[in-house]
Structures are given as structure tokens and as C-alpha cells.
Structure 1
Amino acid sequence: MALKFTTSYVEDALAVFKQYKLLGERAMAQVSDAQLFASLDEESNSIAIIVKHIAGNMRSRWTDFLTTDGEKPNRNRDSEFVDPAATREALMRDWEDGWARVFEAIEPLTDPDMGRVVTIRGEAHSVMQAINRQLAHYPQHVGQVILLAKHYAGDKWQTLSVARNKSTEFNRRVASGEASQR
């Protein structure tokens, strides 16, 4: 997934977060408003609920990232799994707000900051560990969004990576310089 060769952890982490943000957006763009709020069954989360949870996590983890615990006292995690924003526009505002907090917290960091200590739920983490924790968490949920969007889009789905049975053609295009690697 290297979009650009780098030896900077901060730069690489930001690139990965941005890639997953884009994948989520490209997936959500392929479903109707009704499908954003649909659940497969009563135990499943809708895309909207997943977005609400991710945004709530981002608000808690990245607000005052270096100075306060990543689990804010005013966060009610359980409420993230009910009553999502009522419209696509409101949902996307929550999505954008969450991602903005991620980028605002990480962009000013330098590689030497990676050894600083932050807490999440009272447990000490290096800044690098805290970032890695979220680099595992958010892609998991973006994958759920993609799976649901692909299910709902059906035969109208436009792949977010190399299309099925197109690897050889894609590799040929990359080797010849006709396509970028992503």
C-alpha cells in the first residue's frame, strides 16, 4: 500500500489513514441513502452506525491527544450503536469531523514524538502504539463499510482495487507505466 516511499512513521501513518478514509468514502458513495441506514438483521450494524462509532472513537481518542486520556469521560460508547445521524449529509459531517481530528492530532507530530507517553483507558501507550491501535481499529470498520456497501450495490459495485480476474492486465499496465500502483 506504499503510496510514496518514506522512512517517516508519521508520514506513513497519515498516508494509511487517508487511504482508508478514501476507501470508506468511495464505498459509501455507491449506496443509496436508505442503504446507509439499513441493517442486515437486528444484531448487525448499519453503515451509519459504523460511521457514528468510528466518529465517536475519533473524537475521544484524538481530542487533546497528547494531554488527556484517549477515553474521554463524556464519551458514551454504547450510544454510538443506536440512533445515527438522520441524513447522509449529517452522517458525512460526523465522518469528516472525526477524520479532521485524526489528522489535526497526527500532522504536527514528529518521529521523535513516537516515544512520548499517552493514555487510553488509563493504560500507558507510546504515541506510536496509540497510532497503531487506531491503524488497526479504523481499517477494520472501513472493511465492514465496504462489505456492506458492496452487498447493497450488487452488480452496480465499482471495485475499490484491482477488479476480479483483472490482475494480469493490471500488472501489465503497471509494468508498462500505464497505471499507477495502489
Structure 2
Amino acid sequence: MNLGSEYLRIVKKRFQHIKQLGDKTMEQLSEEDIHWRLNQESNNIAMIVKHLSGNMMSRWTDFLESDGEKPYRKREEEFIDDIPTKTKLEKMWEKGWDALFHALDQLKEEELLRQVLIRGESHTAIEAIERQLAHYAYHIGQIVYIGKQIKNEDWSSLSIPRGRSEEYLQQMLQKHQQK
């Protein structure tokens, strides 16, 4: 094992984890819920997903070969709530993630220090990956927060439920002792 391949393994795992948080949140929400927003200045889940997908398609298509801000991307339109169904939103969500995971699967460890552009700004591939990981985690945190507000007492926790930290710790310690 070397550092480059280990980095790629870990970063794929991190992207899969944050995607899973978004998946598990959207599973709990209705068609109506994905369009709820607090006020006119707030984004709803549909808009955030549309933005994430647009960003992913732009950044990860031809990752090493072209600027991550593609000429065809219409970023401002990503913040218009015009996705008619949850099914269409889920397809858009998956399309973006498919682009990301395909690009990461194609990336070779020796390419991690190559220069890539995002809006004309040069980054190493590692910097670009880390930039996107932080960006996606930020927005998926928003999705989870909005979902939790909407569902209130009907929310199914995505992590350790409140008041159950010690129980969870003991389960994890037992699990690791059995290995």
C-alpha cells in the first residue's frame, strides 16, 4: 500500500459517507418536503440537490483535462426550484454522484499532483478533490438540517441518537474486541 492509493481509498469512502447522509435524508422526505423553504432567501432541498448535481457534472467531467467550470454550466439556474418530482430529483442526484465516482475510479495515484483548473485557478488534483469534499459536505449538512426541521419528532437519526452515546460506544468496543 502506498500513500496515493490509500488517499484515493479514503476520499472515496468519505464521499460515499456524505452521499449516504443525503440519501437517508431524502428517503425520509415527501414530494412536498423537498420543496419546503423557510423564506425566499433560503434554498430548499430540491435547489441544493440541483446545485450539487450541476457542480458535480461540471467539476468531474474531464476532471484532469478541462476547467472544472464548464461553459455549458448555468449555475444561477441551479437555484430555481423547477424540479417537478422527487423521482426526477433523485435521478439528477445520482447522475452527479456517478460522474464524481467515475472520475475518482479513473484517477491514478500518480495523477494526484497534476494541476487542474477550476474557474481558471490552478489546483493540484488533491486540492480540487478536497475543495469538492468540503463543498459537498457543507451542502449535505444543509440538506440534513432542513430534513430534520421538517420531520421534527418523526426524524430518524442518521448518527448516534441523542442520549445513546454511551450505549453506542459500548457496542463499538464490543464489536472491535470480537475481531
Shorter-chain TM-score tier: over 0.9
Structure 1 CA distance, aligned partners of 2:52 and 2:31? 19
> What is residue 12 of structure 1 aligned with on the other side?
10
- 1:90 matches 2:75: no
The equivalent of 1:59 in structure 2 is 57
Deviation at 1:109, TM superposition (A): 1.4
The two structures have a TM-score, normalised by structure 1, of 0.92
Is 1:36 paired with 2:34? yes
The percent of aligned pairs where both chains have the same amino acid is: 42
Partners of 1:52 and 1:84 within 8 A in 2: no
TM-score by length of 2: 0.93
Question: Where is the helix percentage greater, Structure 1 or Structure 2?
Answer: 2
CA RMSD of aligned residues (A): 1.5
> Once the two structures are superposed, what CA deviation does each residue of 1:59-84 show, in whole Å capped at 9, x if it has no partner?
11011111110000111111100033
Cα distance change, pair 7–72 in 1 and its aligned pair in 2 (3 A):
closer
The residue aligned with 2:171 is: 173
Shift, 1:108, TM fit: 1.8
SS across alignment from 2:116? strand
Report what 2:108 is aligned to: 110
Runs of 4+ in 1 over 6 A off after TM superposition: none
Counterpart amino acid of residue 151 in structure 2 = A
How far apart are residue 11 of structure 1 and its match? Answer: 0.8
Unaligned segments of structure 1, at least 5 residues? 1-5
SS of the residue aligned with 2:63? coil
- Aligned pairs, number: 174
Q: Deviations along 1:88-147, whole A, 9 cap, x unmatched? A: 000000000000000010112122211011100011110000000001000000000000
Distance 2:5 2:122 in 1: 25
Displacement of 1:7 in angstroms is 6.6
